[in-house]
Amino acid sequence: MKRTERVNNILKNFDKKSYRKDLIHWFKEEQRILPWRENQDPYRVWVSEIMLQQTRVDTVIPYFNHFMDKFPTPDALAQADEQEVLKAWEGLGYYSRARNLQNAVREVVSEYDGVVPADPEELGSLKGVGPYTRGAILSIAYDIPDPAVDGNVMRVLSRILRVEDDISKQSARKLFEELVKELISEEDPSSFNQGLMELGALVCTPKTPSCMLCPVQEHCRAFDEGVETELPVKASKKKQKKSPYLLLLVQNEKGEVLIEQRPDTGLLASLWQYPMVPLEDVGQEAVENWFYGEYGLKVKVGESVKRIKHVFSHLIWEMEVIKVTVKEGTLDHERATFIAPENMEDFPFPVSHQKAHPYINR
């Protein structure tokens, strides 16, 4: 069955006009007061949408306010040093978001005179601006009816329309984008898209939806048939790989701490960290020899002071924090440096390594 035909079948006998009206009315009455909703500035909308990917609203608010204070305009962000941007993002995770955002904003400044484009193709061609972010910016900032479909929206519409497609599949996302195109308000696409997002965040939550408080309950097929907790359908994720490490707090005779910058690409790119010994490749007894080979320093491994477990979407770091002192040698590692403990705040660290900061001798 063609997707258009499928969309028509799903929406058959569904009162689109009434659903639209009820959702928008509820959103205008009940929406949360959030800093990025103060106006329709497309740059603010863009920054907020990137920050909100994979991150809770309560966590994002102080980061957003701080980020906008530091980089209030596209020009300010475009001209900033990448390390300064990563420092402002420190703790939010998924750091490629920050790098992609800055690269895309630089393109906006150079190609569009600092004005975020309102053209769907131009906006969608920017680095890190996928269909969801594009739809959010166009609808919220420019009142252009464009679907903004993420996991929240797919969950809501899976229940409202009783769609049993696996939402982890790209084909399901395409289907929901087509459904939103049919449902979205032409007059107020901003409130419609934000209403769907807000409904998913506050009412139509993943495990225990608050159906009795739902403003569109009378339109919900899943509620009507008592299957709201069975939707959406989503295939289970692959099991995360566990990777054991020693995290080394290395200090020299001056009390300076050894830190290193991660590679420019890949996981946590360009952030700073303490040296990590991959225990899958190096035995505990060989750490001092391994360290000499990697860094050109002879060291003495001391006590274990903490265990840190950090969960990424695809793997888990299990790290034992070990204190280490330098005995002799000259540092020989192009991405590593010794710094005074009081200067730690100048360098962006991932959350996993920030947890080791208190164990530095100061």
Residues involved in catalysis: 49
Q: Are 308 and 317 a contacting pair, CB within 8 Å?
A: yes
**Terminal-residue alpha carbon distance, the chain:** 68
Q: What is the DSSP letter of 233?
A: B
CA angle 177, 150, 110 (to 5 degrees): 90
Residue 124 tokens, joined: 């969608």
Kindly report the length of the chain: 362
d(CA 185, CA 27): 13
Specify the residue for token string 């630089």. 106
Name every residue whose Cβ is closer than 8 Å to that of residue 43 and which is 6 or more positions away in sequence. Answer: 73, 74, 105, 116
Q: Are 231 and 159 a contacting pair, CB within 8 Å?
A: yes
Residue 185 tokens, joined: 């308000």
d(CA 222, CA 234): 16
Q: Are 268 and 95 a contacting pair, CB within 8 Å?
A: yes
Q: Kindly list the distances between the CA atom of residue 164 and the CA atoms of 176, 179, 180, 235, in Å, as whole numbers in the listed order.
A: 11, 14, 16, 12
Query: For 34, phi and psi rounded to 5 degrees?
Result: -125, 145
Q: Between β-strands 257-261 and 272-273, what pairing exists: parallel, antiparallel or unpaired?
A: antiparallel
d(CA 278, CA 178): 46
Q: Give the residue from 125, 150, 244, 248 showing the smallest Cα distance to 200.
A: 150
Beta bridge partners of 306: 321
